[in-house]
Amino acid sequence: MAWMYLLECSDGSYYVGSSNDLERRIWEHNEGLGAKYTARRRPVKLVYAAEFASIAEAYEREKQVQGWGRAKRKALIDGDYGALPELARKRFERCRTPSRFRPDQRGGEEETSSEESANRALVERLLE
């Protein structure tokens, strides 16, 4: 059997890993023989573990969870699976138009190339 696990480090940060022998791996982390990240943040505490049929599957899940933010990892640890989809959504702010495309901030009536004019028109159309 293989495991994907989350450790809480002494500084409150989370570490995500995978192993075929979970008990041995946690011991290694706490002895400073695991990853360099956990060696500097001992002691560590197991806060989540999921079993997989193969180490390849566990490693794939490890890489997925490593890409998550702290809030999403915390929801997984707490078993709040309903919150995971919401935490996965990206929140983008509306882009500000670069000043070179805003006529009011160009600093006068200077001549613009046809490419700049086309770019400005495109940006203005997209912002409408």
CATH 3.40.1440.10 residue spans of the chain = 2-88
3-state secondary structure of 90: coil
Span 2-88 CATH architecture: 3-Layer(aba) Sandwich (3.40)
Position 68 scores a pLDDT of 94
In contact, 62 and 25? CB cutoff 8 Å: no
From first to last of its 128 residues, the chain has per-residue pLDDT tens of: 999 999 999 999 999 999 999 999 999 999 999 899 999 999 999 999 999 999 999 999 999 999 999 999 999 999 999 999 988 866 655 555 555 555 555 454 455 566 666 665 655 555 54
> Rounded to an integer, what distance in angstroms lies between the CA atom of residue 96 and that of residue 10?
40
Reported pTM: 0.69
Position 91 scores a pLDDT of 62
Beta-bridge partner residues of 89: none
Position 97 scores a pLDDT of 55
Distance of CA 126 to the CA centre of its chain: 29
As a whole number of Å, the CA-based R_g of the chain is 24
